[in-house]
Every structure is written in structure tokens, then in C-alpha cells.
């Protein structure tokens, strides 16, 4: 018989549910309670308790685990991970705790299989929902987890292809698209769990769908097929975020966190003493720049305060009140969206679309309706629903999604204050804004004319404060802890957005120093831009080539304007993305020719396709991988599909016949990969009859290639170090994970050692070495790389002027000495400091 486990924050509740379920399933039912934590009477969940309960309920038929909210899910997940040698399978159920347990008990007692018991539990709300619907309350079916039994009119499997998955904004676009059709659209992730309604932003976000996951989308109703087509088109564009070609986009970009501190995204600050004059608070560097000014504590209007009690005026009247408040909140949010869009651009304003979607979200509306029907006031019902939904977000695994609890509370606050009038009108901020955490609404209220910088107690690089600060060009440090909230209003602060520090009441000399630093940085940028067209020649006369990286077909001319002397990395993935069929030789050759022409005789290094499970292509369906970064990507995929690489070689050769084009292979680890690719290149030469000279190089981004450079160099013309992947693999830190920023921040001494090994290996065969990872675009790191013997640096075009300027400031002899010393430092900060001392 299938066993059941009931997980709840409350021991009493878990025991009560077990009793209820036994009434249904009888004494023979294997059902166990796992409620509360060790400390008696304290609410919480404990993975050890859950694990023990699963073990007690286990048989070869398996166990279904039912949970209440928030961390119960996490504890259950932990518990299943900790299980060793379980006799049967374990399934976690998304069903409502009480109804689900009772339905599951009946099914289990009747001898149903684990899947059948799970399906019974999921469908358990249907009866209740239908009944409330008959009473004029809820919309039947709107919040039922599954649409059991019903045949869909149209179905599609949509791949999640944007870098950070189905977070709030893409999910809002999904909901808005689905709502545009007369169809009931439901979604399940990777074929697991019950399909949820696409009308609920919360439920959609709570799926936790990430890059590479597949969404099974089903639709029923007159416009089912049209809805599926529109959602497919949306998914093809990465749900409006763009399809991932790189690790996380700006929202996830991870400036180095100061002093190696991990961002404490959700840590609630406790009470703190006011910091003394001269104290330096350390947080996460979120937006570069230096600011000096008075602290302005932004506290009013933030958060969601409980509304005062009053007598309800009847369900109909309360519902009308809520409806009016929802309309007012909608106007308010649309106004803020326009303000932010005007300042920072539509992309950063898109979070407000997610807020608008929350106003229509069944996950909020359903419990609100139910509470009003049961006699609650409109504001109390909405307040409670917002708190519950925020708790759901806080319980999610993904830090990025946990942060979305703030969005729910922001929307909650707008609606409640539209009813009560409390907390309306935001204080006008100036100076250095100090806040616990900024919601998008608060950030929209900031006037960059008066605000100098942002300092928050909580938050990470992905928090709204950080995103908007970068977009508005305001220096920002987030995650400073409770101490920053204890700073008295008006206290002078010195905020360094690059170091991630805030100094309280700094001495006059520090203030002067900071002002001068700021002015110097501004002057340096202006001068660098003026001299962008000149070559980068070191003080002792050595020339370093400075190239641009391109990821589209259209930016070559702009790169040249910014001083790029060629393209050191053309990421050809753009030719393949968002397409159901692979591009042919003719089309590829045409696009490459346009880029080569825009470069007007400057070199173009074309990287062959670097796709794989982390950069999936619809035209190349591949099985999901446990560790996509360690999977079939780059050259591995190209050799698995040789006709694909051969076509690309033929297209490149056709352009190389008239332009200075080189080719390089991504993710090479072994000599065998190089010889296999060379054989294909020879075949492409024979097929096209083109014998034009064309250098063939490899990217060095796998440590094995760096360590084995001397052996590989005999077989290639050049190396280009892909430090993004090389750092990821050397430090064993996934490149898109903002929490690992300190491990990924460059230049890591271990990575510099691999650069040195690559240069030495290349020199043995007279080959040149370039760098095309992000490290090349950091002026200080660029000096160290030149000092290690790298002769070509390639980076985002906008960074070219400042890197050239930095190289002109140093002698290669000094750069060599600094690089040599950097190999023996303990961390990236120390290595970088050696180069900064020269600039």
C-alpha cells in the first residue's frame, strides 16, 4: 500500500490531518505526521523529521508527501535527497494539505498506485471549488491544480530559453499572452506535477522553470490553437527576454562582491547600534561610482502594514471596494511604469507589467474572494492573501524568485492603501537613499536629480534596487545589513559602488580623496573616448591589439567607431538561435561577408557554433543533461553533427577568400577534437575548391587545453582564452550563478596561472595568444594579461577605449613584473591591486 506523510509547520495540525485521513483510509493506512520542529510548540519544519516519517511510511509501493506552505516544501525536498536505499519511490504532492490527504488516504486504502494516489490528491479541491462556484463565489476550476481527465484541444512543449528562466517579467508576459485568448491554458514543468492555470502569475513563477526546462502547455476552448501558437512564438523569443547566448543578462550580472562576501539575499536585518563615525560598512557592489552626501532614510510607505480592523459592510459592498482599489492600483502602477520607462528604458520598466499581472492573479484573487465571502473586509482579505502568496515566494529554492516576495508585498501595499488611505504618497528622497530594501514602486519614486546613490540593508545584485541603480547610472551598494538602517538621517556617507562599501561620517581628507577619484574617473573616460581610434602602445613601445567581441551581425561598424582593430570573437550562435531549421551555407556566408565588409580589411575571427545543452537550439533538439556545462556543447556537439560543422567551414572559407578571416573552435579539450575538425576543414576546402590562407585556432576555456597547450600548439595557429568558461571550470563555479560572484570575479590567480601555461605552450611553437573572455575588458586585468604575454585582447566594444587607455599608461616591463607577482597572490582582489597600482 502507498504510504502518506503529512508535513506541516504545526505538529498539532499534522496530527489532526493524520486523524482526518485515517477516518477515510482506516487503521491499516500507513500515514505519518511530520509537523513542527524539535522545540515543542514552535512552528517550523524539519527535514530530519520528514525523512524519518517517510522511512516509517515506506513500502515498495512508495510514499506520497503532502505539505503545507513555504519551507515545508524545502524540508520535504531535503528529506528526499537525504534518503538512502529507500524501498520504494517518493513523490511530493502539490495538493492542498487537508483535502489532498483525505483524498489520497481513500485512494491508498483502495490499493491505488502511487501515481493514482497523487492524481486523487491533486484533484481534491475540485468538489469544493465547484461548490463555492455554485454559491456565487469562486470561479469554478480557476484555481484547481489539475484539469484531470479533460482532453486538451492543443498542446505544445515549450523550451525555456531565456537566461534566468520564468521569473516575474517573462511569466507576466506568458500570463498576458494566455489571457488574450478564449482558452483555458495550463502549464506543467518537465512533465512533472499537476498542470497549473496560466492565469496565475504566482503559480507560473512558483513552477521555478529555468533555462533548459520544458513547459508542457495545454489549451482547451475555442481559441486553443491560437493561444498555443502565440505562446510558442513568445517562448521562441525567450519570453521577451531574448534567448540566452551568454550567462545571465544584466539583471544577473555579478559585479564582484566586496571582501568575498556572499550576498545575503533574504537575511532579515536584526536591531543594530548606530555605526560610529569613520565606520566602514561592507555590502555587495551593485552599481559602480562614488557618491558623497547626506543619508536619507527611506522608510515610510514601504512594506505592507496590517490594516486596522473595521466591520465588514457585506460581501457585495466589500467586493466593490476591492474592485475600485484594484483599478486605482492599476493606474498607480501604470504611472510608475511610464516614469521608469522614461528614465531607464522599457526593459527595466517591465517589472511593473508583472505587478499589473499580480492584480489579476488568481492566486491572490481566489483567497481574497473566499475571505470576503466569509465576512472579511476587502483590505484584510487582500492583505492576508498577499502575505500568503509572499510566503510562497519566500519558500522557493531560487534566490531570484524568493526576492519576488517583495513584488507581491508592493502590490499588496498599493491595494490596501488605496482602500485605507494609509501609507499613500511617498516621501521625496534626496542625498544617499538608505532603505531596508527598495521595491520597484519605491525605486520609481526616486528622482535622479536629487538622489546621489542607493544603500540598502538587504538585497543582492539581482534586486530591483541594483537593477535600477545600474540603469539610472546611480552608484549603489546593497546587502549592507541592519547597521546601515541605524545611521541617523543627515549623516554624511561616502559610498563606493565598486568596492561595495559605505563609510559613515568620513573624515574630510577621505571626502576630498573621493571627490578627486570621481573627477579623475570622469576625465579618464572622456580622454579614452577621444583617443579610441589610436593603437594601444605601451610606454616601452609594445603594441597590444584591442579587438571587439560581436554577438550579432549588425554591430561591426559601431565597434570600429569605438576603436576596435578587428573582431576577436564572433559568436556565431546568433545565426542559429530562435529558428526551427538550421541556416544554410549561403545564408551564413552572406551574413559573415557583411560583417567582414563592415570591418573594412580588419581581421575577423569567427568562432564555430558554440551551442549545447546550456545554449539549446530548437533546430538541434538534444536530450536534457544533468550538468549541461559539462555536457555535449561546443566542439563536442559540432563533431557529433559533422555536417553542421562542415557547412559552417564552407561558409567561412567563402568569405576568407576575400577577407582576412580566421576560424576558432570552442570548448576544445583534446588533440583528437582538433584533428577531427581539421579533417572536416580539409573536406570543406576540397568541396569549395577554396585554398585561401585561413588560420585555425582554438579557444582555451577548458583547463585541460591550458595545461596541455604545448602539445596542442603544434596543431593550431593560435589560442584565444575564453576566460568566462575557463574561470567557471577552474573554480568549479557556475558562471551564471550570482551567489558565486566572489569565485567568478577575475582575475583569479589560478586562472592567471593557466593563462601563463597557455602562453608558454604557444611560445614553444611560435603561436600567438589572445583573450576574448570578459577579463579582457577589465582595464586592470588587461594589463596583467598583456604582462603574461597575451598580444590580443577582445571585449565588448564599449570597453575598448578604456582598455586601450590603460595599456598606454603602463610599460610592458612593469606589466610583466605585476603579472609575475599576481601569479603568487591569494585572491583576485590582490592580483588586481597589483595592476591598479600601475594605473
At residue 729, the 3 state secondary structure works out as: helix
Q: How far is the CB of 736 from Mg ion (least distance, A)?
A: 12
Question: Residue 360 gets which letter from DSSP?
Answer: T
Question: Residue 667 gets which letter from DSSP?
Answer: S
Residue span binding Mg ion (CB under 5 A) among the ranges 210-218, 507-515, 657-665, 721-729:
721-729
85: left (phi over 0), alpha (psi -120 to 50) or beta: left
Q: Which of 722, 736, 742, 779 binds Mg ion (CB under 5 A)?
A: 722
* Alpha carbon distance 461, 263 (integer Å): 8
**For residues 165 and 722, which CB has a smaller minimum distance to Mg ion in the complex?**
722
Question: Residue 427 gets which letter from DSSP?
Answer: P
Q: Which three cell numbers stand for residue 581?
A: 531549421
**For residues 246 and 585, which CB has a smaller minimum distance to ligand PEP in the complex?**
246
Judging by beta carbons within 10 Å of its beta carbon (0-12, 13-18, 19+), is residue 203 exposed, middle or buried? buried
Which among Mg ion, ligand PEP, none contacts residue 738 (Cβ within 5 to 8 A by kind)? none
- Cα–Cα separations (whole angstroms), residue 72 to 14, 16, 69, 300, 397: 12, 17, 6, 33, 12
Residue span binding Mg ion (CB under 5 A) among the ranges 398-406, 694-702, 778-786, 789-797:
694-702
Helix-helix angle 315-344:464-472, to 10 degrees: 40
Residue span binding ligand PEP (CB under 6 A) among the ranges 144-152, 180-188, 719-727, 814-822:
719-727
**For residues 21 and 668, which CB has a smaller minimum distance to ligand PEP in the complex?**
668
**For residues 61 and 725, which CB has a smaller minimum distance to Mg ion in the complex?**
725
Q: How far is the CB of 576 from ligand PEP (least distance, A)?
A: 13
Peptide bond into 643 cis (omega under 30): no
User: One of 9, 355, 464, 659 is an active-site residue; which one?
Assistant: 464
* Alpha carbon distance 778, 746 (integer Å): 9
Judging by beta carbons within 10 Å of its beta carbon (0-12, 13-18, 19+), is residue 682 exposed, middle or buried? exposed
Active site residue 464: yes
**For residues 436 and 725, which CB has a smaller minimum distance to Mg ion in the complex?**
725
* Alpha carbon distance 147, 126 (integer Å): 9
Which among Mg ion, ligand PEP, none contacts residue 92 (Cβ within 5 to 8 A by kind)? none
- 701 touches Mg ion (CB under 5 A): yes
Q: How far is the CB of 742 from ligand PEP (least distance, A)?
A: 18
720 to 749: interface string for ligand PEP, x by CB under 6 A? --xxxx------------------------
200 to 239: interface string for ligand PEP, x by CB under 6 A? ----------------------------------------
Q: Which of 773, 777, 779, 789 binds ligand PEP (CB under 6 A)?
A: 773
Question: How many residues of this chain interact with ligand PEP, rule: CB under 6 A?
Answer: 11
Distance of CA 485 to the CA centre of its chain: 28
Q: Which of 109, 298, 698, 772 binds ligand PEP (CB under 6 A)?
A: 772
Q: How far is the CB of 725 from Mg ion (least distance, A)?
A: 4
143, 366 contact by CB (below 8 A): yes
At residue 655, the 3 state secondary structure works out as: helix
Which among ligand PEP, Mg ion, none contacts residue 773 (Cβ within 5 to 8 A by kind)? ligand PEP
590 to 629: interface string for ligand PEP, x by CB under 6 A? --------------------x-------------------
- 701 touches ligand PEP (CB under 6 A): yes
At residue 104, the 3 state secondary structure works out as: helix
Q: How far is the CB of 725 from ligand PEP (least distance, A)?
A: 3
Which residues are within 8 A (CB) of 511 and not within 5 positions of it... i.e. 6 or more apart? 292, 492, 494
* Residues forming beta bridges with residue 188, ordered by sequence position: 216
240 to 259, contacts with ligand PEP by CB under 6 A? 246
Q: Which of 343, 369, 571, 832 binds ligand PEP (CB under 6 A)?
A: 571
* Alpha carbon distance 87, 62 (integer Å): 7
Which among ligand PEP, Mg ion, none contacts residue 730 (Cβ within 5 to 8 A by kind)? none
- Cα–Cα separations (whole angstroms), residue 107 to 2, 29, 95, 252: 9, 10, 14, 45
* Alpha carbon distance 251, 168 (integer Å): 12
Question: Phi/psi of residue 664, each to 5°?
Answer: -140, 155
Q: So which residues are the catalytic ones?
A: 464, 772
Interface positions with ligand PEP (CB under 6 A):
246, 569, 571, 610, 701, 722-725, 772-773
Interface positions with Mg ion (CB under 5 A):
701, 722, 725
Amino acid at each position: 500500500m502507498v504510504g502518506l506523510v503529512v508535513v506541516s509547520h504545526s505538529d498539532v495540525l499534522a496530527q489532526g490531518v493524520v486523524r482526518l485521513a485515517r477516518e477515510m483510509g482506516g487503521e491499516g493506512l500507513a500515514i505519518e505526521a511530520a509537523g513542527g520542529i524539535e522545540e515543542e510548540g514552535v512552528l517550523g519544519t524539519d527535514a530530519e523529521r520528514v525523512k524519518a516519517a517517510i522511512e516509517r511510511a515506506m513500502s515498495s509501493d512508495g510514499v506520497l508527501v503532502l505539505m503545507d506552505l513555504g519551507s515545508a516544501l524545502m524540508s520535504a525536498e531535503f528529506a528526499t535527497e537525504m534518503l538512502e536505499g529507500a524501498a520504494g519511490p517518493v513523490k511530493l504532492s502539490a495538493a492542498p494539505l487537508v483535502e489532498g490527504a483525505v483524498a489520497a488516504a481513500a485512494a491508498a486504502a483502495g490499493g491505488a498506485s502511487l501515481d493514482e494516489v497523487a492524481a486523487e490528491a491533486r484533484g481534491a479541491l475540485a468538489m469544493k471549488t465547484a461548490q463555492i462556484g455554485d454559491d456565487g463565489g469562486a470561479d469554478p476550476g480557476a484555481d484547481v491544480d489539475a484539469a484531470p481527465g479533460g482532453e486538451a484541444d492543443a498542446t505544445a512543449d515549450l523550451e525555456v530559453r531565456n537566461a534566468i528562466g520564468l521569473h516575474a517579467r517573462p511569466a507576466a508576459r506568458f500570463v498576458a499572452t494566455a489571457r488574450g485568448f478564449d482558452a483555458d491554458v495550463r502549464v506543467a514543468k518537465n512533465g512533472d506535477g499537476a498542470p497549473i492555470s496560466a492565469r496565475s502569475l504566482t503559480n507560473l513563477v512558483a513552477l521555478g522553470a529555468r533555462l533548459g526546462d520544458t513547459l508542457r502547455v495545454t489549451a482547451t476552448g475555442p481559441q486553443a490553437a491560437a493561444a498555443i501558437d502565440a505562446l510558442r512564438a513568445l517562448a521562441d523569443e525567450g519570453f521577451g527576454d531574448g534567448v540566452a547566448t551568454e550567462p545571465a543578462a544584466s539583471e544577473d550580472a555579478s559585479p564582484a562582491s566586496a571582501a568575498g562576501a556572499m550576498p545575503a539575499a533574504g537575511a532579515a536585518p536584526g536591531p543594530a547600534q548606530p555605526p560610529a563615525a569613520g565606520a566602514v560598512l561592507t555590502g555587495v557592489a551593485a552599481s559602480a561610482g562614488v557618491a558623497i552626501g547626506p543619508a536619507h532614510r527611506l522608510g515610510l510607505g514601504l512594506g505592507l502594514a496590517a490594516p486596522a480592523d473595521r466591520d465588514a459592510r457585506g460581501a457585495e459592498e466589500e467586493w466593490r471596494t476591492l474592485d475600485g482599489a484594484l483599478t486605482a492600483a492599476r493606474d498607480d502602477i501604470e504611472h510608475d511604469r511610464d516614469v521608469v520607462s522614461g528614465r531607464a528604458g522599457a526593459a527595466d520598466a517591465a517589472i511593473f507589467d508583472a505587478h499589473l499581472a499580480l492584480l489579476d492573479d488568481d492566486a491572490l484573487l481566489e483567497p481574497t474572494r473566499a475571505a470576503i465571502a466569509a465576512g472579511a473586509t476587502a483590505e484584510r482579505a487582500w492583505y492576508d492573501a498577499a502575505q500568503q502568496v509572499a510566503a510562497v515566494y519566500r519558500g522557493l529554492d531560487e534566490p531570484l524568485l524568493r526576492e519576488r516576495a517583495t513584488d507581491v508585498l508592493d502590490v499588496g501595499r498599493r491595494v490596501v492603501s488605496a482602500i485605507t488611505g494609509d501609507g499613500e504618497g511617498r516621501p521625496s528622497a534626496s542625498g544617499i537613499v538608505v532603505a531596508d530594501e527598495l521595491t520597484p514602486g519605491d525605486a520609481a519614486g526616486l528622482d535622479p536629480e536629487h538622489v546621489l546613490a542607493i544603500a540598502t540593508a538587504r538585497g543582492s545584485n539581482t534586486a530591483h534596487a541594483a537593477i535600477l541603480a545600474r540603469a539610472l547610472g546611480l552608484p549603489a551598494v546593497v546587502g549592507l545589513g541592519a547597521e546601515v538602517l541605524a545611521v541617523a538621517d543627515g549623516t554624511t556617507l561616502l559610498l563606493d559602488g565598486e568596492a561595495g562599501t559605505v563609510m559613515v561620517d568620513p573624515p574630510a581628507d577621505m571626502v576630498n580623496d573621493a571627490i578627486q577619484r570621481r573627477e579623475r574617473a570622469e576625465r579618464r573616460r572622456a580622454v579614452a573616448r577621444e583617443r579610441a581610434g589610436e593603437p594601444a602602445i605601451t610606454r616601452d613601445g609594445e603594441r597590444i591589439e584591442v579587438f571587439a567581441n560581436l554577438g550579432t551581425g549588425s554591430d561591426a561598424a559601431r565597434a570600429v567607431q569605438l576603436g576596435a582593430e578587428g573582431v576577436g570573437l564572433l559568436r556565431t550562435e546568433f545565426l542559429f538561435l530562435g529558428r526551427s531549421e538550421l541556416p544554410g551555407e549561403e545564408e551564413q556566408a552572406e551574413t559573415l561577408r557583411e560583417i567582414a565588409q563592415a570591418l573594412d580589411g580588419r581581421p575577423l575571427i569567427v568562432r564555430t557554433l558554440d551551442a549545447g545543452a546550456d545554449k539549446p537550439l530548437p533546430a538541434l533538439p538534444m536530450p536534457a543533461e544533468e550538468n549541461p556545462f559539462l555536457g555535449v556543447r561546443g566542439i563536442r556537439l559540432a563533431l557529433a553533427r559533422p555536417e553542421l560543422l562542415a557547412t559552417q567551414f564552407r561558409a567561412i572559407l567563402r568569405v576568407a577568400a576575400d577577407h582576412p578571416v580566421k576560424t576558432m573552435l570552442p570548448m576544445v579539450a583534446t588533440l583528437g577534437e582538433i584533428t577531427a575538425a581539421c579533417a572536416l576543414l580539409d573536406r570543406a576546402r576540397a568541396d569549395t575548391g577554396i585554398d585561401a590562407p585561413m588560420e585555425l585556432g582554438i579557444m582555451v576555456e577548458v583547463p585541460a587545453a591550458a595545461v596541455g597547450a604545448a602539445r596542442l600548439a603544434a596543431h593550431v595557429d593560435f589560442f584565444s582564452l575564453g576566460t568566462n568558461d575557463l574561470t567557471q571550470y577552474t573554480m568549479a563555479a557556475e558562471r551564471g550563478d550570482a551567489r558565486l560572484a566572489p569565485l567568478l570575479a577575475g582575475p583569479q590567480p589560478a586562472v592567471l596561472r593557466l593563462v601563463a601555461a597557455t602562453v608558454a605552450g604557444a611560445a614553444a611553437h611560435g603561436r600567438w595568444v589572445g583573450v576574448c573572455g570578459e577579463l579582457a575588458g577589465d582595464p586592470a586585468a588587461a594589463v596583467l594579461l598583456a604582462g603574461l604575454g597575451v598580444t590580443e585582447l577582445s571585449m565588448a566594444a564599449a570597453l575598448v577605449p578604456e582598455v586601450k587607455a590603460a595599456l598606454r599608461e603602463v610599460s610592458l616591463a612593469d606589466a610583466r613584473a605585476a603579472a609575475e607577482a599576481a601569479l603568487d597572490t591569494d585572491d583576485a582582489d590582490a592580483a588586481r591591486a597589483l595592476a591598479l597600482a600601475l594605473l
